Amino acid sequence: MSGTAERAVKDAGRQARRVADSRWFELVARGGFIGSGVVHLLIGYLVILLGIGSAAGGSETDQSGALQQIERVPGGVFLLWVVAIGTAALTIRLVIEAVVGGRSDSARAWGARLKNAGKAVVYGAISWSAMQYATGAGTSSSGSSRTAAAKAIATPGGVFLLLLVALVAIAIGIALVVEGARRSFWKQLVRPRQPIEHAVTVLGVVGYVLKGVAVVAVGVLIAVAAFRSDPDQATGLDGAFDALHEMPGGTVVLVAIGIGFVAFGVYSFFRARYARL
């Protein structure tokens, strides 16, 4: 890369960082945590309903089901746009952190960049889905998962790709469990005064651990789909919750996971206030 091009890239990076560090952009990005919290609360609500055998209004017990619930309430489209814009700003912030954040080339710095990139994918997916529902073009996430799995299985080497996706999902789930159990999520937050700190700790531990269990279940189902060459097994969170519901003691497990998602949702509200951005 020439000296002129390199300077142009650095200048662009500085400009992007300056925008991301502005007060107005930070406030919008913090709103992304609130949007994520609302989605997690609704997923938890739907999972608990599934666990106790109550009808969930025909909604899937995953992100698309939560967004459908928002769409149905008065002013739902406005709320969907709020979720979409907030999570989009948070996604941009995380992408900037992943690309130009940090000045060290250490393994820890690169690990932090990769973690921010992964978070950007998660919040970007929420933002995109919320925009789709806000414009009336929302689709079933479990159906999309089946379609993607079917295409992968039909492609040479696609089974190995599915297995890789399964391993990544399982690794992410385990990482969430570990983060919750070790309370390492506090590295991302400014510690508030007691008793708020204690409340956030409980919410974070319960939320991260039980959400991690759900993500591991998704990874296991994707692996089963790969081994059996059956795309119907790869249904995301919705399929994982249905599979857990059919197991002995599934009601207890689902209610516990639902409580975990609710806890993570409330934790996300605190994160909007105390996150290090």
Q: What is the DSSP letter of 249?
A: T
Q: Token pair 């209004």 is at which residue?
A: 57
Quote the CA–CA distance of 35 and 87 in Å, as a whole number: 7
Res. 198: pLDDT tops 90? yes
Q: Which residue has the higher pLDDT, 103 or 49?
A: 49
Mean pLDDT of 245-269: 89
Q: Which residue has the higher pLDDT, 255 or 13?
A: 255
Residue type, 265: G
Quote the CA–CA distance of 153 and 175 in Å, as a whole number: 27
Using 50, 70 and 90 to split pLDDT, how confident is the model at 211?
very high
Q: What is the largest CA-CA distance in the chain?
A: 65
Q: In this predicted model, what pLDDT tens digit does every residue of 1-44 receive, in sequence order?
A: 556 655 665 666 566 667 666 777 788 888 889 988 988 998 88
Residue type, 168: V
Q: In this predicted model, what pLDDT tens digit does every residue of 108-165 receive, in sequence order?
A: 777 777 888 888 888 888 888 888 888 887 666 655 556 666 666 667 676 788 788 8
- The DSSP secondary structure of 156-218, one letter per residue, reads TTHHHHHHHHHHHHHHHHHHHHHHHHTTGGGGGB----TTHHHHHHHHHHHHHHHHHHHHHHH
Mean pLDDT of 79-87: 87
Q: What is the DSSP letter of 233?
A: G
Res. 182: pLDDT tops 70? yes
